[in-house]
Amino acid sequence: MVAERRLADPSAETVSFVGAGVQARSHLAAFSKLFPLKRIRVFGRSKANTDKLCGHARDMGLEAEAAANARDTLRDTDLVLTSITLDYSIEPFLDARWLKQSAFAAITDACIPWSQDGVSAFKTVIVDDRTQEFESDKPMLPYQQVTCDLT
């Protein structure tokens, strides 16, 4: 939330979730305290979890919809959270070029769902620990694209 507070648009109204599990639910609670959210969009592999997250958002007074596909999930969103299963065999299915320029992406899944061809569209990239990212056997994106870390 440190990065969201400093970098995301403080008037963010729409948040999109790729992955609808525990991470998504906890981030929804946190985002709703920081931003004047009005709606969420969800793209998840489990219909049950997607419906549950949408229902939870509606209980909070937000509009909620299940997205038909990955691209629709990212359209016109202010914030996006990706939190898919950490499985490196998953083929990337998201492209950062689909995001509007002012969107903020919180990526908790090691960039697994993001196409490496599109990650250059991220203008500012902040990781937890820059040294750890540099020394990683599976870096999330090209090291030179990392702007700084949370320290």
The predicted-structure confidence for 51-95, as pLDDT tens digits, reads as follows 999 999 999 999 999 999 999 999 999 999 999 999 999 999 999
114 token code pair: 């993001």
Q: Please tell me the total count of domains within the chain.
A: 1
The lowest-confidence range among 20-34, 65-79, 119-133 is: 119-133
pLDDT of residue 103: 96
Q: Is-contact 149 139, C-beta < 8 A? A: no
d(CA 78, CA 83): 17
| Run of H or E including 82 | strand 79-82
Decide if pLDDT at 123 tops 90. no
What does pTM read for this prediction? 0.93
Give me the residue label for tokens 């950490």.
86
Mean pLDDT of the chain: 93
Between vectors from CA 73 to CA 133 and to CA 147, what angle results, nearest 5°?
Answer: 25
The neighbouring-strand residues paired with 63 are 39
Q: Which domain holds residue 127?
A: 2-149
Give the domain CATH number at 73.
3.40.50.720
